[in-house]
Every structure is written in structure tokens, then in C-alpha cells.
Amino acid sequence: MKIIHDLNEIYAQIDFVRRDAKRIGLVPTMGALHAGHLSLVQRAKQDGEIAVATIFVNPTQFGPKDDLAKYPRTLDSDLTALREQGCDIVFVPPSDRIYSGSHSTFVEPPSVARRWEGELRPGHFRGVATIVLKLFQLIPAHVAYFGRKDYQQVAVIQAMVDDLNLPIRIEACETVREPDGLAMSSRNRYLSKEDRVRAVGLWRALSLAQRRLDAGENTRASLEAAMRAELEKAPVDSIDYAAIVHPGSMEPVEVVEESAIAIIAARVGSTRLIDNMTIMAKEVQRMERTE
């Protein structure tokens, strides 16, 4: 596994690989890797790509209230895990080479960034879109793999790729969960033992939305109320949102006819957690099974 820090070197290396007619799969991360991140590398390898992971804690996507300095940094164990996963190249750029002192160009995020995380974390998606575009420039890959765990993030990146005609395919990969349903996240390490028990409330609330839909309850009002009640039962400490949204626009849907995305952001102790689930009407589930 090649570990590259230099920007000219990564570009040259990717150019070299592409000349060999090899396909490149990019996996952008901020490190503190867990099985969810590694599943993206695994997917790139399964698809027959040269897997290129990046590790960069992107300062521009952190707000003043988010603690950039506290973000976990575990480079040595990250590199070991990537090597074990068969990752081919890891790019770990120095921060001052990505953002020079005079850096002033940013991507204006697409409209799907407006609500939810975009509203609660002003500037977050501007930072995400900017770093992802930079990485796409430095590492002209054929495919980039992202986790559905960050559903709105994938929607923002897909819209940016479409709007700016970027020559790359975006693959959204399933969320990897702990055995009890909690979505894996770098932030889970901050949960105390007691928080960890309550954190599974997000998964329970999402699963309940699907069960209620199965039982014929398909209005936004009733599904959202059910999710909130389940979150309060956990109990989580506060709820930022618990909503039923359209899979493409992420605008709230009043009635779930076929499918929708249930999304939650809640705080457990001092840790903010997000999760989501695609919920489907019974007929759609049946059709998916027979396809």
C-alpha cells in the first residue's frame, strides 16, 4: 500500500495508474476508521478498482460550535486497517497544502443542502462540497464511494457532480451497523456506557417508522410523531429533527406513497448522532423482492 502526502505525487501516481487502463475507486474519509469506512474500500476492491482512500480532517466543514481540535485522529491504526483491507493507495495531505493562507474559493452547495444538516450546521456543506471537489481534482477517479449513513451528504455530492458535469460516478453504500442496530460512527467512541445504551434509540425510531408504514400509517404527521415518541423513550437528550423526506429533494413528504427517507439527528449526552433509513410501502417491498 502506497502512502502519499504530496499533492504532485498523488496526481502523478493516479496518472500512472490510469495510463495502465486501470479503474480507480476513491474513498474520501476523515480517518478514525471503523468497519463502515472499510466497507467502502472493500466495495471498491470488489468492483475491481484500484482503491484510493484519503484521510483528511477537513477544517472548512466544521462550524464554530463543532470541535475540530477534538476530532479523533488515529492515523497509525487507520493505515493498518486500510492495509489489511487491501487498499492500494492512501492520500494523507498536509492541511496547509490543501488550504493555503490565501485560500478563498468555495463551492456554493446545491439546494438539497438547504435543510436539516445544512440548516443546523451553517457552512458545513460548503466545506464538504469544496473538499470533495478538490479531492476529485487531485484524484481523477472513475467512481467515488460514500456511505448512505450521511444521506444528505451523498445527495449534495451527487447534485454537485450533476450540476458541474464532473466526470465521476457516485456510489452510495449501505450503512454498516453494530449488532444492535446503532450506525457505526467515529463519534460513537464519545458515548459513555449509559449513552451507548440510549443511542440505539435512533435505530429503534427508524425501524418503528417502517413498521408503522407496514401497518398502513403513511402520513408524515403520524410517522414523525411515532419516531419522536420512540426517541423520547430511549431517552435521547434532545432531538434536532426526526422527519420523513423525499429521497431526491429531501423536502418533507406529507404522505408516503411508495418510499421515503426517515432521517434523525439527536443528541445523546454530549454526542450528536445522525441516522436514516429508506422506508418502503409493502407493495414496493414486494416488487423489490421479485426483481
Contacts with ligand AMP, residue ranges (CB under 6 A): 29-30, 36-37, 39-40, 146-147, 149-150, 173, 175-176, 183-186
- Beta pairing class for 89-91 and 238-245: unpaired
Q: Which is nearer to ligand AMP, 61 or 218 (CB)?
A: 61
Q: Which is nearer to ligand AMP, 136 or 146 (CB)?
A: 146
We find the least distance from the C-beta atom of residue 17 to ligand AMP, in angstroms, to be 22
**Residue at 127: amino acid letter:** G
CB-based burial label for 278 (10 Å; 0-12, 13-18, 19+): middle
We find the least distance from the C-beta atom of residue 206 to ligand AMP, in angstroms, to be 14
Q: Which is nearer to ligand AMP, 79 or 223 (CB)?
A: 79
Q: Give which of 33, 27, 29 is closest to 77, Cα–Cα.
A: 33
| Residue 142 C-alpha from the chain's centroid | 19
Q: In what order do the strands lie in the sheet with 89-91?
A: 2-4, 89-91, 50-55, 24-29, 143-147, 169-173
We find the least distance from the C-beta atom of residue 154 to ligand AMP, in angstroms, to be 7
231 Cβ neighbours under 8 A, 6+ residues apart: 201, 202, 205, 239, 242, 264, 266
We find the least distance from the C-beta atom of residue 25 to ligand AMP, in angstroms, to be 13
Q: Tell whether the torsion through CA atoms of 87, 93, 95 and 98 is positive or negative.
A: negative
Q: Which is nearer to ligand AMP, 223 or 245 (CB)?
A: 245
We find the least distance from the C-beta atom of residue 220 to ligand AMP, in angstroms, to be 25
We find the least distance from the C-beta atom of residue 132 to ligand AMP, in angstroms, to be 10
Taking the C-alpha atoms of residue 52 and residue 89, their distance in angstroms, rounded to an integer, is 5
Q: Which is nearer to ligand AMP, 256 or 263 (CB)?
A: 263
Q: Give which of 151, 116, 172, 179 is closest to 276, Cα–Cα.
A: 151
Greatest Cα-to-Cα distance within the chain, rounded to the nearest angstrom? 57
Taking the C-alpha atoms of residue 156 and residue 159, their distance in angstroms, rounded to an integer, is 5
Mind telling me the catalytic residues? 37
Contact 91, 52 (CB under 8 A): yes
Location of C-alpha cell 476529485: 136
DSSP designation for 148: G
Q: Which is nearer to ligand AMP, 174 or 258 (CB)?
A: 174
From the CA atom positions of the chain, what is the Rg in Å? 19
